[in-house]
Structure 1
């Protein structure tokens, strides 16, 4: 096994580790690891990311279900438009994007470049959200209420976003559940994992009909990530998740800037 392959699997462990420690954010690493460490095409990487993120989140979601932390009604309201949007994005929108979008002089904006730049922008937005780290707990004692139109709209937007970049979108889902469904923060985090799992795996189904999947690699990579989430859950007992989230936010910010520099300078 080559050094970059080893680094790729170390990255898979890190994805699960971060998900287990802070309840989100790990999926934002999946595409960069697959593209830069394992040299996968960005379209394939975003597809594989959906499977890795979906399966790892599902493990966390099942654990939360047994603890009674998941609000199923909210999950269904949010997940239905999200999974429809992510499936349509992966099955029809991504394949429809031309290989070369446009050129400015000698600079060519290709499909792969556009996907990576868009992903980097999402990383920057996510990093700012994590650095600010303002988790409002004041909804904990209030009754859950539903702003159906906004929840459906948010679900659709997150679904398209997930379909394009292959990330779970927890940094968008959790604030939406707290503000729009008025869920307590801990329930919002737990419920978001179930939503991420459903829409990511549905989105991956849209790719199965368009791509040749290397199942041996994908299952081995995902298994390492699942091991990581169990380690993260265990370490969560000893580490301050709030401080870790802020530190990870700075790391994601640097990664996002690096991706923009690397893609534009190539």
Structure 2
């Protein structure tokens, strides 16, 4: 199982380099199902792995000219505030077991089910036809910032970098091309993820750094493979592929969680 886990770590990087997201979609299940970590710890580890890999991918995208810096900054600041709010002021106070709509559910179930539902919603947004760019450009900065805050809040709760939400937001609200949205999202993901991880460490989350750095180095290697493939893939192919990828994984995780009820 651990060998499959390390292969999955490489796929995290490939996904980030190719799609600008999806790495955390792989990393949380990776740590939960292949390395047998509890979901809360898995979300924290996921933030570090995806954050470092995304930073490397962002540097490559910057060099290639696939960055829209103003949109990235406008998105990153309120997005991080959402991450910080959830990781510091909500997650530590959720009980390990609770009664929800007459069902006894665990914190693990709540996190993983929320994770799956977010994936399904994001996949549908990517599979829908893109809105007219002229309309997109009229999106008010306040609305854009609010969307970013909500994405950051979801990122903080499910421990995902949020690329599967950031890329659609940059495409639909920011009017960016898919490849510019992918490159820009990597910078936002890196900031959100690494600061979210630092917030966890600040509240004394135990971290096995030797294991974490090994998984991270494998994921970083995958970034280069994903970036290479991305140069040979058109935007028309990337967007639906991203949507289908997220839809399949989200459906599988959601079905698996339902068996626990």
- What TM bracket, shorter-length normalisation? 0.7 to 0.9
TM-score (norm. length: structure 2): 0.88
Query: 2:211 aligned to 201, 205, 217, which one?
Result: 217
1:28 correspondence with 2:22? no
The Cα shift of 1:104 comes to 6.5
Quick one: structure 1 residues 75 and 250, their matched pair in 2 at CA, closer, same or farther if it must change by over 3 Å? closer
Cross-structure match for 2:105: 109
Structure 1, 61-70 or 48-57: larger mean CA deviation: 61-70
Cross-structure match for 1:65: 62
Cross-structure match for 1:236: 230
Quick one: structure 1 residues 251 and 192, their matched pair in 2 at CA, closer, same or farther if it must change by over 3 Å? closer
The Cα shift of 1:53 comes to 1.2
Quick one: structure 1 residues 137 and 27, their matched pair in 2 at CA, closer, same or farther if it must change by over 3 Å? farther
Task: Indicate if the aligned counterparts of 1:137 and 1:184 stay in contact, CA closer than 8 A.
Answer: no
Query: 1:254 aligned to 240, 248, 252, which one?
Result: 248
TM-score (norm. length: structure 1): 0.86
- What is the aligned-residue RMSD (CA, Å)? 2.6
Query: 2:119 aligned to 89, 99, 123, which one?
Result: 123
Q: Work out the CA distance in 1 between the residues paired with 2:240 and 2:139.
A: 30
Cross-structure match for 2:36: 39
**1:34-53: CA deviation from partner (whole Å, max 9, x where unpaired):** 11111110001111111111
The Cα shift of 1:60 comes to 1.1
Structure 1, 40-49 or 202-211: larger mean CA deviation: 202-211
1:201 correspondence with 2:194? yes
User: Match of 1:263, SS?
Assistant: helix
Unaligned 5+ residue runs, structure 1?
none
Q: Work out the CA distance in 2 between the residues paired with 1:154 and 1:71.
A: 18
Q: Work out the CA distance in 2 between the residues paired with 1:159 and 1:62.
A: 22
The Cα shift of 1:247 comes to 4.7
**1:153-172: CA deviation from partner (whole Å, max 9, x where unpaired):** 01110110000111222232
The Cα shift of 1:115 comes to 0.4
Aligned residues: 259
* Structure 1 runs, 4 residues or longer, greater than 6 Å off: 142-146
Q: Work out the CA distance in 2 between the residues paired with 1:229 and 1:135.
A: 27
Q: Work out the CA distance in 1 between the residues paired with 2:4 and 2:98.
A: 32
Quick one: structure 1 residues 231 and 185, their matched pair in 2 at CA, closer, same or farther if it must change by over 3 Å? closer
Task: Indicate if the aligned counterparts of 1:178 and 1:184 stay in contact, CA closer than 8 A.
Answer: yes
